[in-house]
Amino acid sequence: MKDWTECVVYYPLIRHPLSDEKEKLKRKYVALIKKYAEKYEIEEKRISDLQMLQQALFGEDNTNLARWGYTDHDEEEVLKTRFSRFKFFSYRYLFLFDCLMLFAISDNRKGKHICEEIKRHVHSRYHKKIDTMVSMMYSGDEKFADKTLISIDMVKAWKDARKYSQSRKHSVFFTATMSAGKSTLINSIIGEDLSGTKKAACTSNIIRFHAAPNINDRYTIINADGSQYLKDVRHVQECVRNSTRQIDIVGYFSSVLHEGKYTLVDTPGVDSSLNPQHKELTRKELSDNNPEILVYVIPVETYGSEDDYNHLKYVLKKVLYERIIFVVNMMDTYDPEDDSVEDILQNIRDHLLEIGFENPIVCPVSAKAGLLIKKMVRNTAMTDNERESAENFIKLFSKPEYNLGKYYPLVKNEGDYHSRALLSTGIPGLEQVVFGL
């Protein structure tokens, strides 16, 4: 499996301190950033970050960076000391921050080279402050932004990106029979409708989702040939729907998993009579990659089916996973008058023990409810039908008998009305189980 974790979009979607400046200066700023990218041989995979910076400055990302020329005078203009409203200030420290954020998050040596280059174009009286700022950034001292134009949000973005860059890689493979809600579960962890969930658009190939550390509303799509595109949610959905080959998608996860290099691997359902090749594709993917974490999704209404039994036996005998988590999905459909969550979980544990799994971890969730409520909590754009469904789910999961959060001991049912309902869907708890908390 090719590693795409170095293609993550680090630059956050936040208000940039330079965004209110005149367009002429902003163009010079971006042109100078591009000059540093070329000087330090920044790979094509970082272009997504340059586009994100441009969006933060201009509020859009379709202006052609290549046509903005650069001159030495522009460097002096961007880095000089300014005077406004009876105070002196400079964008040189902001520029230094952006360069390190874009090009040298995990490369201290390259960061120092950038620092030296900037010092060549400013008066020596500012060199000590520039050196100190770089040293503090790489040592984790958040006071590096004091008396600069660097915002609190930018400091947090740097901290999150540094933590991410220093984390180790994790792979999480998802498998299930058809219509178990596997893709919906992945979407609920990410917090967006990226993977196909309708029957007509069910997963037909391998799709890998890679977490990025900072909030943004763009995703980098990487095709099998390595070509990349920075797109919004709607274009990602189209790409996933129309793809006939493996595809990798890099973007922010609205989950604890964004804190590390997590890759979520969506595989086709294994029981399609119309597409028997899906089973072979999934089995090969699971057998060839020895998953670190395997998430097996079981729909609550059909657990114990013959198709599930056969696939579970295959997983037990043929897949060398390090850890397996069984997710009981669609718990919003269970009837508390006829059954209990405790009985359902115990029955499934007993069934898994009979098959041969030792000490199975069984996690109850409602992926659909979790996704819709999470979108409402994040204030993500929703259709009227989605919003209505989310409100109904909030009412349902506010009832004690639907509180799935209590089956995750590390989850505290706190926060506002919507946040408590989200915890009750089991999704935040499952995310912590996958994260290894």
Which pLDDT tens digit goes with each residue over 66-105?
555 556 677 888 999 888 766 788 999 999 999 999 889 8
Amino acid at 319: V
**pLDDT on residue 201:** 42
| Mean pLDDT, rounded, of the chain | 87
Residue 310 CA, distance from chain mean position? 33
Which pLDDT score is estimated for 216? Answer: 82
Mean pLDDT of 188-212: 79
Please give the Cα distance from 294 to 325 (Å, whole number): 6
Q: Which residue has the tokens 């409708």?
A: 193
pLDDT of residue 344: 96
Q: How confident is the model at residue 204 (pLDDT cuts 50, 70, 90)?
A: low
Share of the chain above pLDDT 90, in %: 57
Average pLDDT value for residue range 329-343: 95
- The whole-number pLDDT of residue 205 equals 82
Per-residue model confidence (pLDDT) at position 52: 82
On the question of pLDDT at 61 being above 90, the answer is: no
pTM above 0.85, yes or no: yes
| pLDDT > 60? residue 4 | no
Tell me: pLDDT of 429 over 80.
yes
pLDDT at 1: 47
Q: How high is the pLDDT of residue 86?
A: 66
pLDDT at position 172: 97
Quote the CA–CA distance of 431 and 416 in Å, as a whole number: 20
CB 204 within 8 A of CB 242: no
Specify the pLDDT at position 437: 56
Q: What pLDDT, on the 0 to 100 scale, is given for residue 228?
A: 73
Using a 10 angstrom Cβ sphere, with 0-12 exposed, 13-18 middle and 19 or more buried, the burial of residue 112 is middle
pLDDT in tens, 111-162: 999 999 999 999 999 999 999 999 999 999 999 999 899 999 999 999 999 9
Distance CA 188, CA 367 (A): 6
pLDDT value for 200: 42
Question: If we measure between CA atoms, which residue out of 367, 368, 342 comes closest to residue 429?
Answer: 367
What is the DSSP annotation of 326-381? EEEE-GGG--TTT--HHHHHHHHHHHHHHHT-SS-EEEE--HHHHHHHHHHHTT--
Is 202:196 a contact under the CB 8 Å cutoff?
yes
- pLDDT at position 315 is 96
Question: What angle, 0 to 180 degrees and rounded to 10, lies between the N-to-C axes of helices 427-435 and 182-190?
Answer: 80
Q: How far apart are CA 212 and CA 163, in angstroms?
A: 11
